[in-house]
Structure 1
Amino acid sequence: MVRLKHRYLLVNILYPDPKTTNVRIATETADQNAPYSLQFRQPSSQQLNIKILLRIIRDGVAELFGDYGSGKVAGTLQIKYFSPATSTAIIRVSRDHYRLVWAALGFCTFLPKPAEEEAIRRARISIKRAQRAVKGSATSAIETGAVAGATEDDEDVSMINGIEDHDEVEDE
């Protein structure tokens, strides 16, 4: 019988102040009543969910270790717990490859903002309206025979694009 062995990584997402670059400055400028461990902790955005966090980790492993790392981690990488209120996650990964995930988490410096479905839906509606308008104007132009740059007596399509046939000019 084969026993699968896993490791669990506890991840705390920290949000350091972008103005401060080192620990000493952070402790001087922060509230003196707040403990140091709370200075970088804050709730995560509600937009950050398990799917996005999992994608961040997979992309990080792929960036650092390529296809080899992605393949080794893909089968066992799971997020067992994530709380946006505490910015805490528990990640399960195989014992043999937990260091790949650990390294990818160490190099993660930002959290992407996902596109909102409302904006996507609105963009899709606008695109469909524009396509209908273009399609409607193109069919009406074709039906009337009016094509941009062409007159009613033009028979040759190449004349529309401004290409002149020198033989016809000499014949006239």
Structure 2
Amino acid sequence: MVRFKNRWLLVEFIPLELEKPKPGTSRLDGKIIWAALKHSIQNNFGDTGWGAVALSLTVKYFSPTTNICIIRVGRDHHQVAWAGLTLLTSIAGFRYIPNVVHLSGTIRHAQLAAIAHNREVIARYRALAKTPTAYQDSHEKYLETSTAEIEALQD
């Protein structure tokens, strides 16, 4: 018996508007990202490309605060999904740059990378707000809840 092998993409969606949305306000969600990725793959690789990744492509996690997303795709065709992400220019009428932060073979390594990346993004938000490092704010609660959500993900 052979098990189904996956690749896990950790993707950050960077908004390109002149007025960037405030942290915690996002126009994206998992369904919108999945539909945009499907549309990109179909436009660039046709029905053959979509057929290769359709059964295994899943958005497992999305954080509207940090705009990061964990996407699962089959190992044999993860390059098609990655290329479809790279060729995305807009999602739901808004322009984003999809930045693939991490690629892993297990969900555990994707979880660890997502938690570390969340901490980096929150540190950037705090630096922009010029808050002291020991300052307790709403981001602490977010880090706790997002870490729990990410660790609860199942394959």
**TM-score normalized by the length of structure 2:** 0.54
Counterparts of 1:49 and 1:7 in 2: how far apart (Å)?
21
Structure 1 residues 106-130: Cα deviation after superposition (integer angstroms, max 9, x where no partner):
111112159xxxxxxxxxxxxxxxx
Counterparts of 1:11 and 1:75 in 2: how far apart (Å)?
20
Contact 2:11 2:69 in 1 (8 A): yes
Name the residue aligned to 1:12.
12
Q: Does residue 78 in structure 1 map to residue 58 in structure 2? A: yes
Matches of residues 31-110 of structure 1 in structure 2 within 5 Å? Answer: 43=23, 45-110=25-90
Which gives a bigger RCO, structure 1 or 2 (Cα 8 Å, sep 6+)? 2
Contact 1:42 1:86 in 2 (8 A): no
Counterparts of 2:56 and 2:76 in 1: how far apart (Å)?
10
In the alignment, structure 1 segments of 5+ residues that lack a partner are 19-39, 115-172
Contact 1:42 1:87 in 2 (8 A): no
Counterparts of 1:107 and 1:6 in 2: how far apart (Å)?
21
Between Structure 1 and Structure 2, the one with more strand by share is 2
Counterparts of 1:59 and 1:87 in 2: how far apart (Å)?
20
In the alignment, structure 2 segments of 5+ residues that lack a partner are 95-155
**TM-score normalized by the length of structure 1:** 0.49
Counterparts of 1:55 and 1:63 in 2: how far apart (Å)?
12
Counterparts of 2:58 and 2:15 in 1: how far apart (Å)?
23
- Opposite residue 3 of structure 1, the aligned amino acid is R
CA RMSD between the two structures: 2.6
Tell me how many residue pairs correspond in the alignment. Answer: 94
Structure 1 residues 23-54: Cα deviation after superposition (integer angstroms, max 9, x where no partner):
xxxxxxxxxxxxxxxxx896475442111110
